[in-house]
């Protein structure tokens, strides 16, 4: 990749990272909503007599919820993809920095040769 191509590549990776961050936030919000609905059901269930029963019922309802585990899986996959993009972004930034340093070094050598 040429030096002048790095800013665009870095910007694209940053945009992807932002997109994954948004997807993670949306999935986490969905999970919290599901948990909140279940917590409300458990809190108002008069048949549950103590905390142990409430915790067990909460776990049971989460296990039975059709979207909960699907959303958990989506969250895990999205976080993994986000991490891969983040790693690539760091790599591109570092490569860009190295190329800039190499260009500066080459310019400094030329200036030294010109002054000699």
Residues of the chain with pLDDT under 50: none
How much is the pLDDT for 87? 98
Cβ partners under 8 Å of residue 55, min gap 6 = none
How much is the pLDDT for 10? 98
Q: What is the pTM of this model?
A: 0.83
How much is the pLDDT for 80? 98
How much is the pLDDT for 116? 80
């Amino acid at each position: 990749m040429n030096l002048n191509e790095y800013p665009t590549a870095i910007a694209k990776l940053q945009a992807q990272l932002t997109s994954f961050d948004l997807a993670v936030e949306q999935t986490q919000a969905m999970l919290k909503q599901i948990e909140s609905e279940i917590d409300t059901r458990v809190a108002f269930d008069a048949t549950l007599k103590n905390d142990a029963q409430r915790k067990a019922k909460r776990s049971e309802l989460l296990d039975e919820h059709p979207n909960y585990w699907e959303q958990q899986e989506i969250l895990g996959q999205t976080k993994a993809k986000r991490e891969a993009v983040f790693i690539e972004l760091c790599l591109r930034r570092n490569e860009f920095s190295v190329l800039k340093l190499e260009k500066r070094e080459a310019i400094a050598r030329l200036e030294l040769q010109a002054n000699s």
